[in-house]
């Protein structure tokens, strides 16, 4: 019985080996090169080929990024310093409007030092000196509306209120008499006395009394150019002599 079973098993093994015979044939080395890759799919092979090398194959250290040691550190900007430099340049070029504007900017940021204040103020005075004569001519001619418009424009440009000129402007428009001239002169308001006398002369250039007081007021107000111009038109010898003596006492020589 046992022998029959073993015989059956051996026969079954032989049949199995006989069926696998084609697959068990040896493969020559030359055949290996032509055999398809059956160990792994194509996409897995590609992934394995593209994968980074193992840690042992990596370099010990990566080189550091180059550092530009020659690049200077950024310099912080000082706005006040820059504005002061621009103010000096504007003053040197006699650009008075720009000088006043830069002075305003420095004042706004609380950085208006003594030098900057001096340069900006000089610009303000120069603007007023430029515009004042035309305003005075308008006042003298009685064109008070245009005089006020010009005065406002002057103050806006210069940031400097011309008080003597403003007082002349306040007196513009009303009927002015010699009483007004004398009233201002007695109060020591010589700019106002001069303005009142000039308004009288604008209406009547032959008024010698008004001209004589205008000369004296100009000398008292320390305005030698104005005093000389008025003195040149005086014709009364006595009034000329009186005016000349008063002006001389104030240190102003008219001829």
Q: State the average pLDDT for the chain.
A: 79
CB atoms within 10 A of CB 125: 13
Whether residue 188 has pLDDT greater than 70: yes
Q: Which long-range contacts (CB under 8 A, 24 or more apart) does 244-250 make?
A: 246/216, 246/219, 246/220, 247/215, 247/216, 247/219, 250/219, 250/220, 250/222
pLDDT digits (tens, 9 = 90+) for 25-68: 555 555 545 555 444 444 444 444 455 555 555 555 555 555 55
Is the CB of residue 201 less than 8 Å from the CB of residue 207? yes
DSSP 60: S
CB atoms within 10 A of CB 62: 7
Q: What is the per-residue burial (b if ≥16 Cβ within 10 Å, else e) of 181-196?
A: beebbeeebbbbbbbb
pTM: 0.46
The CATH number of 175-255 is: 1.25.40
Is the CB of residue 155 less than 8 Å from the CB of residue 95? no
Whether residue 116 has pLDDT greater than 70: yes
- What are the C-alpha distances in Å from 153 to residues 13, 158, 175, 234? 124, 9, 26, 34
| Position with higher pLDDT, 82 vs 73 | 82
CB-based contacts of 103, cutoff 8 Å, min separation 6: 87, 112, 116, 117, 119, 120, 121, 123, 159
Q: Is 171 exposed, middle or buried (0-12, 13-18, 19+ CB in 10 A)?
A: middle
pLDDT digits (tens, 9 = 90+) for 174-187: 677 888 888 888 88
Across 6-15, 51-60, 66-75, least confident range: 51-60
Over residues 141-169, the mean pLDDT reads: 87
Percentage of the chain lying above the pLDDT 70 cut: 69
The C-alpha atoms of residue 194 and residue 130 are separated, in whole angstroms, by 20
The C-alpha atoms of residue 199 and residue 133 are separated, in whole angstroms, by 15
Q: How far is CA 206 from the centre of its chain?
A: 54
First and final C-alpha spacing in the chain: 169
């Amino acid at each position: 019985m046992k022998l029959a079973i073993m015989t059956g098993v051996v026969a079954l093994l032989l049949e199995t080996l006989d069926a696998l015979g084609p697959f068990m044939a040896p493969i020559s080395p030359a055949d290996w090169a032509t055999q398809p890759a059956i160990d792994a799919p194509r996409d897995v092979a590609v992934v394995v080929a593209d994968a980074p090398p193992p840690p042992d194959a990596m370099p010990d250290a990566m080189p550091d990024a180059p550092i530009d040691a020659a690049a200077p550190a950024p310099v912080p900007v000082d706005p006040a310093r820059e504005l002061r430099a621009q103010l000096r340049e504007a003053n040197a070029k006699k650009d008075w409007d720009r000088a006043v504007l830069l002075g305003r900017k420095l004042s706004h940021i609380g950085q208006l030092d003594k030098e900057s204040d001096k340069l900006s103020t000089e610009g303000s005075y120069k603007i007023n000196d430029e515009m004042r004569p035309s305003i005075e001519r308008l006042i003298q001619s009685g064109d008070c509306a245009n005089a006020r418009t010009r005065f406002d424009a002057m103050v806006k440009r210069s940031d400097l209120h011309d008080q003597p000129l403003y007082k002349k402007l306040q007196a513009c428009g009303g009927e002015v008499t010699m009483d007004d001239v004398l009233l201002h002169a007695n109060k020591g308001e010589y700019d106002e006395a001069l303005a009142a006398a000039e308004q009288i002369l604008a209406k009547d250039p032959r008024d010698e009394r008004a001209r004589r007081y205008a000369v004296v007021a100009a000398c008292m107000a320390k305005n030698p150019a104005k005093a000389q111009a008025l003195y040149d038109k005086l014709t009364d010898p006595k009034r000329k002599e009186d005016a000349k003596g008063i002006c001389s006492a104030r240190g102003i020589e008219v001829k």
